[in-house]
Amino acid sequence: MRKVECIIKSGDCANALSEYPEDYFDLIVTSPPYADCREKTYGGIKPEEYVGWFLPKSEQFLRVLKPTGTFILNIKEKVVEGERHTYVIELILALRNQGWLWTEEFIWHKRNCHPGKWPNRFRDAWERCLQFNKTRKFHMYQQNVMVPMGKWAETRLKHLGKNDVVRFDSQVGSGFGKNISNWVGRDKAYPSNVLHLATETDNRSHSATFPRALPEWFIKLFTKEGDWVLDPFVGSGTTCEVAQKLGRNSVGIDVLQEYVDLARSKVAPVEMMLFEREATYDKNNAK
Ligand SMILES: C[S@@+](CC[C@H](N)C(=O)[O-])C[C@H]1O[C@@H](n2cnc3c(N)ncnc32)[C@H](O)[C@@H]1O
């Protein structure tokens, strides 16, 4: 018998997580309040105070994440007095001092970003999704996020040069080689670290929701069915809603009761979900 659990907790995430044992979660995927944003609702942390605000929380994240787990932090710095603020860069350095490895940075390109006009910059159409790990041996299921080869296959692979049909060592000294001819005849390829996802504008009673495809991509990449996913700033509950659909257990935490209630309404009815998943599981495991 397998069961998909989804628990939405109320309170400050550091306090709520102190009840959990260490090495419990396989993935943390989250978007905290950004500095200087949404003062009237749940945010308003000053950029210069942000690192001090965040570190007690990430200390708990570090404790409850498994050594094979991954922490994805969606965040972006604002412009303050004509310059990009450096608080995200300072946070990355502070997290490294706390014991995290800064393994990768994904870019979320907001495909449907609305146009705008500024005298000295273009519209901001991307956010960071920072990847942190506890060890270099984290679980990653790359085949789960493969994409169609597309036009690249029709054009580039039709005209292979002499360096494309042998293993050609990296020119940037990465130690990795590539043999482009290996991709001939395949219909899927691995994606890049740029995610082209539209923001979702459906009315979800929260001003800063994830597009569902964002947590979905990371949940597929870093977990398998039955694993545990945590969103410590769960807001409207998108991460837990998606985790549940993908057969992952999840915990979501929010400090505001109205969002806790909203998130709880997104993940019901759990019983129906459990019934469907068990049926699939039994069928797949039948001898
Ligand atoms: C950017 S929103 C998250 C939105 C979410 N990704 C979604 O799809 O709806 C950040 C959330 O963090 C919550 N929050 C702020 N401080 C918190 C804290 N100390 N502990 C837990 N949640 C907190 C806010 O109430 C807010 O709902």
Range of the domain at 163: 148-189
Between 281 and 138, the higher pLDDT residue: 138
Q: What is the pLDDT of residues 66-89, one digit of tens each?
A: 999 999 999 999 888 889 999 999
Q: What is the pLDDT of residues 203-249, one digit of tens each?
A: 566 767 899 999 999 999 999 999 999 999 999 999 999 999 999 99
Residues 160 and 127 in one domain: no
pLDDT at 220 (0 to 100): 98
Considering 156, 173, 189, which residue would you say is the last residue of a domain? 189
**Whether the CB of 208 sits within 6 Å of ligand 1:** yes
Q: Residue 114: pLDDT above 70? A: yes
- Is 25 a member of any domain? yes
Residues 132 and 218 in one domain: yes
Residues 253 and 270 in one domain: yes
Calculate what percentage of the chain has a pLDDT beyond 70: 81
Residues 63 and 174 in one domain: no
- Give the lowest-confidence range in 23-32, 63-72, 154-163, 211-220: 154-163
Residues 243 and 258 in one domain: yes
Residues 44 and 177 in one domain: no
**Whether the CB of 50 sits within 6 Å of ligand 1:** no
pLDDT at 186 (0 to 100): 77
Between 202 and 148, the higher pLDDT residue: 148
Please give the tally of structural domains in the chain: 2
Q: Residue 127: pLDDT above 60? A: yes
Residues 139 and 263 in one domain: yes
Residues 12 and 75 in one domain: yes
Considering 132, 166, 189, which residue would you say is the last residue of a domain? 189
Question: What's the pLDDT band for 103 if we cut at 50, 70, 90?
Answer: very high
Q: Which residues have C-beta within 8 Å of that of residue 17, sequence separation ≥ 6?
A: 60, 61, 63, 64, 230, 232, 253
Ligand 1: centre distance to CA 12 (Å): 10
Residues 22 and 62 in one domain: yes
- Average pLDDT over every residue of 126-141: 97
- Is 109 a member of any domain? yes
Question: What's the pLDDT band for 40 if we cut at 50, 70, 90?
Answer: low
Amino acid 36 reads D
- Is 173 a member of any domain? yes
pLDDT at 204 (0 to 100): 62
Question: What's the pLDDT band for 272 if we cut at 50, 70, 90?
Answer: very low
Question: What's the pLDDT band for 152 if we cut at 50, 70, 90?
Answer: low
Residues 68 and 21 in one domain: yes
- Is 181 a member of any domain? yes
Calculate what percentage of the chain has a pLDDT beyond 90: 60
- Is 168 a member of any domain? yes
Residues 140 and 106 in one domain: yes
pLDDT at 285 (0 to 100): 40
- Give the lowest-confidence range in 48-57, 96-105, 145-154, 232-241: 145-154
pLDDT at 253 (0 to 100): 98
pLDDT at 150 (0 to 100): 73
- Average pLDDT over every residue of 148-176: 69
On average, the pLDDT of the chain sits at 86
Ligand 1 atom at minimum distance from 57 CA: 19
- Is 100 a member of any domain? yes
**Whether the CB of 238 sits within 6 Å of ligand 1:** yes
pLDDT at 238 (0 to 100): 96
CATH number at residue 213: 3.40.50.150
Residues 159 and 278 in one domain: no
- Is 1 a member of any domain? no
**Whether the CB of 61 sits within 6 Å of ligand 1:** no
pTM for this model (two decimals): 0.86
Q: Residue 284: pLDDT above 80? A: no
Task: Please say whether the beta carbons of 87 and 121 come within 8 A.
Answer: no
**Whether the CB of 255 sits within 6 Å of ligand 1:** yes
- Is 82 a member of any domain? yes
Ligand 1: centre distance to CA 254 (Å): 6
